[in-house]
Amino acid sequence: MLKIGVIGAGSIGLLFGAYMHKMFDVTVYTRSVGQAEQINKNGIRLIKKAGVLTAKVRAEVLGGEVMDNDLTIVAVKQYQLETVIRHLPAKGALLFLQNGMGHLRLLDQLEADDIYVGSVEHGALRESPDSVSHNGEGLTRVAVFRGDSRLLVEAAELLSANFPLQLEPDYFEMLAGKLSANAVINPLTAILGVRNGELVENAHYEKLLERVFEEAACILDFNDKQERLLKVKGICRNTSENRSSMLKDLDAGRETEVDAIVGYLLDEAAHKGLEAPLLRALYEMIKGKERSGRESG
């Protein structure tokens, strides 16, 4: 049985741990002793429309034990990566599940032979330190960043029935598609304070969505802009009742992933000599709200 490590016990880490426990020997690595103890005692509670399932997995505090996994899944936010990287195992494959594309620069510095990246399309919400609500079923797109794909293929085959992994041929194209959606939906919903669906239900918001997407698409040099725009609008409709992660982070006074998402695009725009005034405005507004949240907290 393959040994799988999951670094990060937020919504995505708990979701992966819960679904993978039947097929693999799973260890979840947490930041706190309390959360590790709670998971070891109760397992991970997976809340679905059909009911509640309990997944018995092992939990350890990150940095406490030397990792010995065939595959280690890194499910923390991008701004947490630099802290986490020093704890990564020297052997075994790594799968990174961050939003944005800024983390690619960090992956180039790693020594691991087999490095994969993924784009998660599930909707999940951590309800408590040991429970996660799976409120939007999708799939996880994965691709090889460097190395051999065999372990990724094996994991995908074992998970195909209940928690599909879809292998993509080009990691850059895969991440760029997800980035264009995140760069539009996350900051707009966060600034406007609306759920995802309102971006296409309100004609004025939809026009704004289209203008922001146009800037992102130009920076990423998309040839199929209209097709990709339709996909972004489709995501808004398919997740119409969801509140974006950036909106939830601002409401909770947490740091957002705006640097990993919009910041990356602004860096690329500067490198290519392009102007992106709407993305720049959204970036500054999000950073301003982050600062206000810290000061009021």
The active-site residue out of 77, 178, 233, 289 is 178
Cβ atoms of residues 21 and 129 within 8 Å: no
The CA-CA-CA angle for residues 253, 254, 260, to 5°, reads 140
Residues contacting residue 215 through CB under 8 Å, at least 6 positions apart: 265, 269, 276, 277, 278, 279
Active site residue 91: no
| Cα 23 from Cα 263, distance rounded (Å) | 38
Q: 53: exposed, middle or buried (C-beta count within 10 Å: 0-12, 13-18, 19+)?
A: middle
Q: Amino acid letter at 287?
A: K
β-strand pairing of 51-55 with 44-48 = antiparallel
Distance spanning both ends of the chain, measured CA to CA: 46
Cβ atoms of residues 284 and 290 within 8 Å: no
Indicate the helix (H) or strand (E) that contains 96: strand 93-96
Residue with tokens 């051999």: 148
Cβ atoms of residues 246 and 258 within 8 Å: yes
Which two three-digit tokens encode residue 264? 């990356």
| Active centre residues (catalytic) | 178
